[in-house]
Amino acid sequence: MAKQHVHRGGELSIDNSTDLYGQVTSITLPTIEEKTDDMQIGGMNFEADVALGFNKLEAEIHLTKLNPVYLTKIGVSVGQRVPFRWMASLDNSDSDTPTGLNALMRGRITSIDLGEQKSSEKADVTIKISIDEQYLLRIANEVIYDIQPLRLIHRVGENDLMQVHRQNMGYDY
C-alpha cells in the first residue's frame, strides 16, 4: 500500500514573524503545472503538445485572525518580496517516524480577502500569493523543488532543468 501522510501540526511564518501559531486553517502550496500548446503540422494526423514552460506559481493561505503581520504586507514596494515559510510534521502510515515538510515561498501578496465578519464566529481571512522569486519544498530534509522563476532556476530533486539554458545565456549560477 502506498504511503499516506497525515498533517500533525503546522506553523506559518510571514516575513520571519512567528505570531501566526494556531491561526492557519489551511494552506494550498503551489501547483507545478506544465504550460503546453497544441501542435499539428506537416500532415500530422493527431495533435501533439509542445512544452512551453510552466504556469505561474501561486499559493493560498486561510487564517482565522486579522493580524497586522500580514495585513500590512500587501503592496510592498516594487522589487520587495515577502517570505512565507510553512513548516509541518507529517505522520507516515508506513513507519513510526514522523517526516518534516518545509516550504519556503517568496513573492507578492496579490490579495487579502477579509471574508464575511460575523459576531461570535472566527474570521476567515484568505491570502493569495504570486510566487515569482522562490519556491523551495523540502520533505524529510530532501529538496523536492527549488524554483526561482526570475533567476531561471528550476530544480526537481537532483535535476536542474534550466542549467544548460542559463549557461547558454552566460549566467554562472
Residue 14 near residue 82 (C-beta atoms within 8 A): yes
CATH number at residue 66: 2.30.110.20
151 in a domain, yes or no? yes
Q: What is the pLDDT of residue 77?
A: 56
* Residue whose C-alpha is closest to residue 134's, from 156, 149, 119: 149
44 in a domain, yes or no? no
What pTM was computed for the model?
Answer: 0.84
AA letter at 18: T
39 in a domain, yes or no? no
| Total of domains in the chain | 1
- Distance between CA atoms of residues 67 and 99, nearest Å: 29
Is the four-CA dihedral 40, 46, 52, 57 of positive or negative sign?
positive
72-117 tens-digit pLDDT = 777 665 567 889 999 998 887 777 788 899 999 999 988 889 888 8
Q: What is the pLDDT of residue 79?
A: 62
135 in a domain, yes or no? yes
7-34 tens-digit pLDDT = 778 888 888 877 677 788 999 999 999 9
Residue 9 near residue 102 (C-beta atoms within 8 A): no
173 in a domain, yes or no? no
75 in a domain, yes or no? yes
Domain with 66, as residue range(s), is 5-32+49-168
**Mode of pairing for the β-strands spanning 5-14 and 82-92:** antiparallel
40 in a domain, yes or no? no
| CA 11, chain centre distance (Å) | 15
Report whether pLDDT(141) > 80.
yes
